[in-house]
Structure 1
Amino acid sequence: MKYLIILSLIIGLSCSERTLLEDYVFDDNDISVVKHEILSSTVNQGYTLHKLNLTSLKWFNELLTNRPIWWHHVYVSVPDNLDSTRPIFYYIDDGRNNETESPSETAKLLSEFSTKCKCITVIQRQIPNQPIIFTADPKSKLRIEDDIIASTFGLFFFNRTLFPNNTYNNVPLLFPMTKAVKRGFDETVKFLKSKNVNFTEKFVVSGASKRGWTSWLITAVDQRVIATMPIVFDLLNWQKNLHIQFKSLGGGYTYATYDYFLVGLTAKLDTKEIREILKLVDPLFYLEKYSGRKFLLFSATEDQFFLPENTKAWWQDLSIQTNNQIYIKRLANVDHYLNQQSKLQIVSDIKVFMDLMHKETSSTRTLPILKWYFENNILFGATRIKLSNLGEFDSYTVTSYSAKTKDKTKIDFRVNYLLDKSFVDSNISWIEAPLIQSKKSDLAAVNEHVYRKLRILSIFNYVGFYLDVNLKLKDSNETLSISTDLNIIPEYYPIGDCYNEECLGKLV
C-alpha cells in the first residue's frame, strides 16, 4: 500500500509539472501592454458583429524584431438565438499588420455561422503578427508565415547565446502565437462581460495550417479549451514523420518545407537540438495534456505540406489518451489551400460535432466510435471498420476513396511536385465509390464492414485508399462525415531510411 501511495504521488507530480510553453504563456511580465478597444458594432440579420483591436503581448524587444508588440483585429459575433450554455467557437486566422483590414472570406463565413451553432464565434486575425523584420538581418527582409517560424528555429539552433537566462526557449514563433490566442481568450471574456452577455467560458478552437498548429498548442496549455478542430495540420511526431517523408519521397522532402530546409532542420533531424525544439513545439510532446479533450481534424488528400499518412505516426497514442474521441475528415481532391466546397464541408461538420457535444452528459456519450484495422496480405489491401455508439443517428453510408501514385519511385499524392526547379502537376485523382447504404434496422451495437483492394493494382504504382462514413442524424438531414486512416499498398517504401547527415535530403 505504501508503494502505491508513493507511485500515485510521483505520477501526480509528473502530470502536473508545468511545461516551458505554459511558463511562457502564463507569464504576465508584459501584461501592461494588453488591452482591447471596440472599433465597431454592427447589427446584422440574426447576429451582432463587434470588431475589436486587441494588443496581446510583447515578444522580446526591438533588439530581436521590428514588431515586439503584437496586435490583432478580433471579430466577435453574438447571435440573437444564443444558447448561453454552449462553448465559444474560436477561430485563429492569418492576416497582415501592414495592410488595410478587411475580414477574410473564412471570417465572414464563421461570423454568420454563429446563428447556426447558436454560439458566440470569435475570429482572431494576424496570428502571427507579420510581416516581421529581424533586427540583425543585414537584408532587412520582410518575413511572413513559415519564413518567420523557420527563422526562429534557426535562432534556436545557432544563436542561443544571444538570449540570457535560457530565454532562447521562448524564441520559436509558436510560443507568442499560442500566448496571443490565450490573451485573446482573456480579452474576449472581458469584452463579453462588459456587454452583459451570458455565456459559458469554454472554447472550441480551430485554425488552418500554422494556426492549426497553434490550436494544438493552446489546447495543451489552456484548460478552457474543450475541443480542438485543426485544419490542414496533422504533423505531430515531427521526427518520425520527417523520416517517413524522406523514405516516401525517395530521399527528399516536399518543396513546401523550403524555409525549414534552408535553416538546416533536415540536416539536424537526428540531433539533440531537434529533440530540444520539438519538446517545445511538437504537439505530441504534450500528449498527456490532451486527456479529456475532443478532436476533429480536417486533412487535404493532395496537401503540398503534409503527407496523408502523417496520422499513422501518432493516431493510436492520441486515441488512447482521449478515449477514442478523436476524428478526422479527409477532403478528397483538395490541396492545402482548400476550396469553397471543402470550407463549407468543414463548417457543416463542425456544426454537427458541436451539436453532438452539447447533448453529452457525464454519463452519456453522443459522438460515434469509429475504429479501423488494416488487414493487408499477398492478395489484398483491406481496411476493416467497426462502428458503434450510433444512438444519435438513424442511418449511415460508407464510401471509399482511392488514388494511385504516378509510379513507384515515390509515395506521393501531392497536387504537384518539384522537378528541375519547376512545378509539375501530378494529376492525382481520388476516385469515389459508394459501398454501403445502411438502414435504421442496421444500427446494431457494433457494425463491421471490410473493404478490399486487389494488390495486383499496385504492381506499377502505390495505391492509397480510405473510407468515409457519413452518419445521418435522427430527425434531421444533417450528417457527420468522418474518415479512416489511409491504407497504402504495397507497405514498403521506395528507399531505406536515413541517419544523421544522410537526412539532409533534397526538395522535391
Structure 2
Amino acid sequence: MVPTVMDLLNIQKNLHHHYRSLGGWTFAFGDYYTERVTIDLDSPVMKLMQAVIDPITYSNRYTMPKMIVTTSGDEFFLPDDSYYYFDQLPGPKFLRIVPNAEHSMKGHLMSDILALHSFYLTILENATFPTMSWTRSSTSINGKIMLTTSVEPIKVTMYYAKTLDGIRRDFRLVVKDPNSQNPMVHPVVWLNGEVQKINATQYMAVVDRPIVGWAAFFIQVHFNGPKGSTLEFTTEVNIVPDTFPFPDCSGTSCVGSLV
C-alpha cells in the first residue's frame, strides 16, 4: 500500500497541530473552510465522523507493507503530520518524504515511479525489506536524528530547510498571498547536509537551532533492491525548536482563517 500526499491520519489531533503551526488553515483547505468544517473541529459530530473516515481507525488492518509518500513542501499537509500517527501503525512500514516538492509532485514523477517500482518489486519477488528505526531529539542548541538500519545502505543523505521567518512554522512551497485570494510562491528550499556515519548501520544528523524561525531535517536512505532496483526511504522530519508559534484553538474559535 502506497498512500501518496495524503497523511492526515488521526484527523482531529493533526488538525489542531496544523492550527498551532500556521495560526489558521492553509489556503488549500478552502473548500472545507467554506463548508465550515473547521468551526466544527471539536464538535461531537466531527468525532463521530472521524470514527468512520479516519484511516487510523482501521490501523489493525494495515498488515501489508506500507510506504507513505509525502512532500516536504505540501500546501495541504505538514511535514511533521507523521508525529501523530506513524508510531500507531503496524509494520512493515516506511516513510518517503520527497524534498523540494509540493502537493502535485510536479517535476518528481520519474523518482516517484522508480520508488514505486522497487517497492512493489520487493513484494512481488518475496524479497526481504530492510528495516529502519530512528529517534528524534532536540535541545536548546540543536536537533538530532539517530538512524539504525538492518543492512548497510548504499547511500545516506540529509535534507534540511529553514522557515522564511519566525511567524509561522511553515515549510509550504505555496501560500496564500496576504494581499489577495491568490496563491503565491513561498520558496522554502531543502538543501543537502552532512550525515555522520557511526558504523555500517548507524547514522546521525544534527542541525543547529536557528536564531529566528524553525529548521526541519530528515535522513534519506537508499538500499539495494531486487533486480538492480533501488529502494528509497526516509526518516520522519525533526523540527527545531520543538515549539509552536500559536496557541491551540478550541470549540468555535477553530473557525480561524485561511493563510
- Normalising TM by the smaller chain, what interval? over 0.9
Classify 1:279/1:474 alpha carbon distance in 2 versus 1 (closer, same or farther; 3 Å): closer
Whole-Å separation in 1 of the counterparts to 2:243 and 2:172: 19
Determine if contact 2:221/2:232 at 8 Å carries over to the other structure.
Answer: yes
In the TM superposition, 1:83-482 aligns within 5 A as 228-250=1-23, 252-290=24-62, 292-318=63-89, 321-322=90-91, 325-340=92-107, 342-360=108-126, 366-388=128-150, 390=151, 395-418=153-176, 419-421=178-180, 422-433=182-193, 435=195, 443=200, 447-455=201-209, 458-473=210-225, 476=228, 478-482=229-233
SS in 2 for 1:411: coil
- Provide the secondary structure at the position in 2 that maps to 1:461: coil
Please list every run of 5 or more consecutive structure 2 residues that lacks an aligned counterpart in the other structure.
none
TM-score by length of 1: 0.49
Q: Distance in 1 between matches of 2:179 and 2:19?
A: 18
Q: What count of residue pairs does the alignment treat as equivalent?
A: 257
C-alpha distance after superposition, 1:107-145 (max 9, x if no partner): xxxxxxxxxxxxxxxxxxxxxxxxxxxxxxxxxxxxxxx
Identical positions, percent:
26
Q: Following the alignment from structure 1 to structure 2, what is the Cα–Cα distance between the partners of residues 434 and 474? A: 28
In structure 1, C-alpha distance between the alignment counterparts of 2:163 and 2:149, rounded to whole Å? 30
Deviation at 1:249, TM superposition (A): 0.2
State the alpha-carbon separation in 2 of the partners of residues 430 and 450 from structure 1. 18
Aligned-partner Cα distance in 2 for 1:415–1:487: 18
Contact 2:27 2:258 survives alignment (8 Å): yes
Distance 1:395 1:263, change over 3 A: closer
What secondary structure sits across from 1:230 in the alignment? coil
1:30-53, Cα deviation, whole Å (9 max, x unpaired): xxxxxxxxxxxxxxxxxxxxxxxx
Alignment of 1:44-59 (within 5 A): none
Q: Distance in 1 between matches of 2:191 and 2:257?
A: 31
- TM-score, normalised by the number of residues in structure 2: 0.93
Shift of 1:436: 6.1
Q: Secondary structure at the match of 2:59?
A: helix
Q: Measure, in 2, the Cα distance between the counterparts of 1:472 and 1:289.
A: 29
1:386 maps to a residue whose letter is T
Match among 496, 500, 503 for residue 247 of structure 2: 496
Q: Which has the larger helix fraction? A: 1
Structural RMSD (CA): 1.9
> Is the CA contact (8 Å cut-off) linking 2:122 and 2:226 kept in structure 1?
no
Offset, 1:238:
0.9
CA distance in 2, matches of 1:237, 1:395: 32
**1:446-490 deviation digits (Å, cap 9, x = unpaired):** x221111122xx2212111111001134773x3111011111011
**2:10–2:54 Cα contact (<8 Å) kept:** yes
Gaps of 5+ in 1: 1-227
Three-state SS of the structure 1 residue aligned to 2:184 is strand
Tell me by how many angstroms 1:395 deviates: 4.3
